[in-house]
Amino acid sequence: MQNTIKFTLLGAALVTSTFISAQTIRVASWLPPTNPMNKDVIPAWGKAISEATDGRVDVEILYGLGHPKTMWNLVEDGIVEASYSYHGYVPGRFELPQIVEQPGLNVNAEAASYALWNTYQEYFKDSGEFDGLKLLALFTHGPGQIHSNFEINNVADLENKKIRIGGGVQSIIAEEFHVTPVGAPAPKVYEMMQQGVIDGAFLPAVEQRVLRLAEVTDYLTLLPHGMYMGSFSMFMDPYFFEDLSAEDQAAINAISGAELSVLAGKAWDESDASGIEIAQEAGVSVKKLTGDDMLSKAFDERLKSVPQHWIDSVGAKGYNGQEALDHLRKLAQEYSESHGA
């Protein structure tokens, strides 16, 4: 009996020792578990980190820690080790990554995310936007489409409609289409649609499934490349990172940056297809437009002046926005052509 007790205590001590020696990256998430970030991206990144560090570092997702605009603060204050969020929720702080949100990119999220990470490193790395944070990735969701309770046959159908927007370039697009913008985080859209607070929302198609918008929308209008892309960053507490061994730091760096950015973009792309499928199964009227449709051309015409707003804004800060945007589009197209993305 005594030997059994000793063995049990020894086992418990070994388990405790192993638990203590492991470093956990707690990632705060504000999107539901079914979102591709929580379902695919963070788990895949976490598995790669655990394998690369021989289990010395692992990853855990935490939910319910607040509004998406507070995620940067949670990491800066050391409450969690990492998080991600959408730049449009904090107007004025992260303007440079919104280069990828501008209409006219005409690629999917995978190619856009690759181009965003690399363009930011080349043109904006020393901007100071992410001071106090370790930048892990820059990426986009899939093309922003229109979820609505009204049919869209021409651009005038959007006028004066109450449309949820997430900030960023969507604010400019709302002005161009003369809608009544209603700012709100994405997880609030279901309730707002259900209660009639809004007539529609600008969001990627995946949200028909993840946010269950197929239950509360009548129409999904799909433009060939959407109206915009949405820019996100994923970031870490630099003090936590610096406390890791040089070997573990190198392992995390190797599977972050461009690699993590592309992983995230690809996951959003794949999820969009599931959103469209769910919408069709639920009886939502899905209008898939081609580039030759008159409605697509009307949208393109209305959107073509949108990027100049961003170019002028960053130009006032001393950046050559047009040059950076041209570079981004070139990288995105090259990636798309070489990877079939």
Average pLDDT of the segment spanning 309-315: 97
DSSP state of 143: P
pLDDT in tens, 25-72: 999 999 999 999 999 999 999 999 999 999 999 999 999 999 999 999
Average pLDDT of the segment spanning 169-181: 96
For the chain, give percent helix, strand, coil, nearest 5: 50, 15, 30
SS3 277: helix
Residue with token string 């297809």: 273
Which helix H or strand E contains 174, and what residues bound it?
A: helix 169-176
> What CA–CA distances, in Å, run from 307 to 134, 165, 203, 318?
28, 17, 19, 17
pLDDT in tens, 123-162: 999 999 999 999 999 999 999 999 999 999 999 999 999 9
Which helix H or strand E contains 46, and what residues bound it?
A: helix 42-52
Give the bridge partners for 285, in sequence order.
219
pLDDT at residue 13 greater than cutoff 60: no
Binning pLDDT at 50, 70 and 90, where does residue 340 land?
Answer: confident
SS3 269: helix
The reported pLDDT for the residue numbered 5 is 34
pLDDT in tens, 235-263: 999 999 999 999 999 999 999 999 999 99
Residue with token string 């950015």: 261
Q: CA dihedral defined by 278, 281, 284, 288, rounded to 10 degrees?
A: 70
C-alpha 310/C-alpha 315 separation (Å) is 8
pLDDT in tens, 183-241: 999 999 999 999 999 999 999 999 999 999 999 999 999 999 999 999 999 999 999 99
The reported pLDDT for the residue numbered 341 is 67
The reported pLDDT for the residue numbered 22 is 81
Q: How many CB atoms lie within 10 A of CB 226?
A: 25
Name the phi and psi angles at 133, rounded to 5. -135, 150
Average pLDDT of the residues of the chain = 93
The model carries a pTM of 0.91
The reported pLDDT for the residue numbered 334 is 97
